[in-house]
A and B are shown apart, each in its own frame.
Chain A
C-alpha cells in the first residue's frame, strides 16, 4: 500500500543527493508545513478565492513531488488545473490522502 502512496526511490535519491541529515530535516519541515498549506487551501475554498485555491494546490503538489509522494502530487495537480468554479473541490479526498501520505513519509523517516 505504501508503494502507491510514496515512491521510495525518489526519497532515496534525495538522501543520496543532499545527504541523509538534510533530507530528514527537509522532510520534517514538510510535515510541519503541510497542515498550513492544507488549511490555506480550505480557507480559499471557504472564501471562494480561486487564485488562492490554485496557489495552495500548486504548493502542495510542488512539495509532494520532492518527496515522491506520488498520489498526493497527482491529486493536488488535478486540483491546481481545475478551476474552483468548475467542480466541487475534493477536499475530503485530499484530507484522507494527506493522512495516508503523512503516515508513509513518517515511516520513511524512521527507516
Chain B
C-alpha cells in the first residue's frame, strides 16, 4: 500500500478533539489543516487541495451533514473522501452520513489503529482515482475526461455537427529510414506534443493516432462555437510550430518535416466505441471520409491545408482563401470544391 503523505483537512469545533486528531494524523506522516466550523471548511476546500476530509457532525455554522451534502453536489469535490469522526449518539446518524456519501465513520474517541487503516485506505482510493483521471487526460481534454468519469463510458451514439481534422507527415516512412529508431520515436513524440497543444488550445480532442497520422475532432462530444474556424486555426498554429521546428532541423542538417491537413465540417455519428478491454471516442460518417480524402489530396494539389465548402463558409476571414474546383475524391461519386489559403 502506498503510504506517501497526503493533505488532510480536520473539521472539529472542539479544541481538545482538534488537537488530538491533528496529532494523530501528523503521527501517520500526513500534513494537516484545521477548520473549526463548516463554513470555514467549505472556504478552505475551495481554495486548497486536500486528499481527505475528517469531518465532525456537531459543528456550528454548517453542520457535518450540510457540509457532506454541499461537497457531494460539487463536481470538483464530490470525489474527495470524507471520513466522519463523531461521538454522536445513535446509529441513524452514522447511516445518514454513509447515505450522504461519506466514505467511512470512526467513532470518538478515535482509535489510533482504526484511524490509520481508514486514512490509508481512503488515500489509496483517492490516488487510484487521481491516476485514472490523469490517464484519461492523456487522450482527452479535461471536459471529455470529466464527462467520461461522470457517465462511466456510457456507450451510445449521437448524430451531431462537428469538424473533423486529419493530419499527417509527408513521406515519413522515407524520412524515418534515414534515422535511428530512437530518433524516429523522438520525432513522432515531438510532433504529437505540438499537435496536441494546437488541437486542445482550440478546444478539440485528438481521437486517433496512427503512425504519423492523427485525427482530431472539434465540436464533439461537446459543442464548440464555430468548430470549423477552430480546426483551421489549429492547423495554422501547427504549421507555424512546424516551421519553427524545421528551422532547428535544417540547422543540424536534418530533413525538414512537411505536413498536410484535411478539414471537413458536417454531420457525424459520434460515440464511445469499445470492445471488452478498450474504449475510444470516435466519429464516423461522410464528413470523416471527406476530411481524410482532402488530407490525401493535399499531395496532389501541392498545398498544406485543404478544407471543404462548409468549413470555408464558417471562416471569419475568407479574403485569402482560394477555391480548387472539380476535385475528384476516391469514394465520392460527385466532384467537390476544395479550399486552401492563397
Interface residues of A (CB under 8 A from B): 17-18, 22, 25-26, 29-30, 33, 55, 58-59, 61-63, 65-66, 77, 80-81
- A63: nearest chain-B partner, CB-CB: B16
**In the complex, what's the smallest C-beta–C-beta distance from A29 to chain B, in angstroms?**
5
A58 and B88: CB pair below 8 A?
A: yes
B58 and A26: CB pair below 8 A?
A: no
**In the complex, what's the smallest C-beta–C-beta distance from A93 to chain B, in angstroms?**
20
Answer whether residue B189 sits at the interface, using C-beta atoms and an 8 A cutoff.
Answer: no
Assembled-state Cα–Cα distance A81/B108 (Å): 17
Residue from B13, B15, B23, B88 within 8 A of A22 (CB atoms):
B23
A30 and B16: CB pair below 8 A?
A: yes
Assembled-state Cα–Cα distance A76/B16 (Å): 17
Give the 10 A-B CB pairs with smallest separation, nearest first. A62-B87, A63-B16, A66-B109, A30-B16, A65-B109, A59-B14, A33-B15, A29-B16, A62-B108, A58-B58
B residues in contact with A81, CB < 8 Å = 89
**In the complex, what's the smallest C-beta–C-beta distance from B109 to chain A, in angstroms?**
5
**In the complex, what's the smallest C-beta–C-beta distance from A85 to chain B, in angstroms?**
18
A residues in contact with B125, CB < 8 Å = none
**In the complex, what's the smallest C-beta–C-beta distance from B20 to chain A, in angstroms?**
6
Answer whether residue B17 sits at the interface, using C-beta atoms and an 8 A cutoff.
Answer: yes
The contact size tier of chain B is: 10 to 19
Assembled-state Cα–Cα distance A17/B13 (Å): 23
A62 and B14: CB pair below 8 A?
A: yes
Q: Can you list 28 contacts pairing A with B, beta carbon distance less than 8 Å? A: A17-B112, A18-B24, A18-B27, A22-B23, A26-B19, A26-B23, A29-B15, A29-B16, A33-B15, A33-B16, A55-B58, A58-B58, A58-B87, A58-B88, A59-B13, A59-B14, A59-B58, A62-B17, A62-B108, A63-B16, A63-B17, A65-B87, A65-B109, A66-B20, A66-B108, A77-B89, A80-B89, A81-B89
A residues in contact with B58, CB < 8 Å = 55, 58-59
Interface residues of B (CB under 8 A from A): 13-17, 19-20, 23-24, 27, 58, 87-89, 108-109, 112
A26 and B20: CB pair below 8 A?
A: yes
- B88: nearest chain-A partner, CB-CB: A58
Assembled-state Cα–Cα distance A58/B90 (Å): 13
A66 and B16: CB pair below 8 A?
A: yes
**Total number of A-B contacts with CB less than 8 angstroms?**
45
B residues in contact with A80, CB < 8 Å = 89
Assembled-state Cα–Cα distance A61/B109 (Å): 10
Assembled-state Cα–Cα distance A75/B240 (Å): 78
B112 and A63: CB pair below 8 A?
A: no
In this complex, the member of B14, B17, B89 whose beta carbon has the largest number of chain A beta carbons within 10 angstroms is B14
Assembled-state Cα–Cα distance A62/B19 (Å): 13
- A10: nearest chain-B partner, CB-CB: B109
Assembled-state Cα–Cα distance A58/B13 (Å): 12
**In the complex, what's the smallest C-beta–C-beta distance from A38 to chain B, in angstroms?**
14
B residues in contact with A61, CB < 8 Å = 87
A residues in contact with B19, CB < 8 Å = 25-26, 29
**In the complex, what's the smallest C-beta–C-beta distance from B217 to chain A, in angstroms?**
55
Assembled-state Cα–Cα distance A20/B15 (Å): 19
B residues in contact with A30, CB < 8 Å = 16
B residues in contact with A18, CB < 8 Å = 20, 23-24, 27
**In the complex, what's the smallest C-beta–C-beta distance from A20 to chain B, in angstroms?**
13
- B27: nearest chain-A partner, CB-CB: A18
B residues in contact with A77, CB < 8 Å = 89
**In the complex, what's the smallest C-beta–C-beta distance from A3 to chain B, in angstroms?**
20
**In the complex, what's the smallest C-beta–C-beta distance from B116 to chain A, in angstroms?**
11
- A17: nearest chain-B partner, CB-CB: B112
Assembled-state Cα–Cα distance A66/B17 (Å): 9
- A68: nearest chain-B partner, CB-CB: B109
A residues in contact with B108, CB < 8 Å = 62, 65-66
Contacts A18-B20, A26-B16, A33-B14 supplied; 19 other A-B pairs, CB < 8 Å: A18-B27, A25-B19, A26-B19, A29-B19, A30-B16, A33-B16, A58-B58, A58-B87, A58-B88, A59-B58, A61-B87, A62-B87, A62-B108, A62-B109, A63-B14, A65-B87, A66-B109, A77-B89, A81-B89
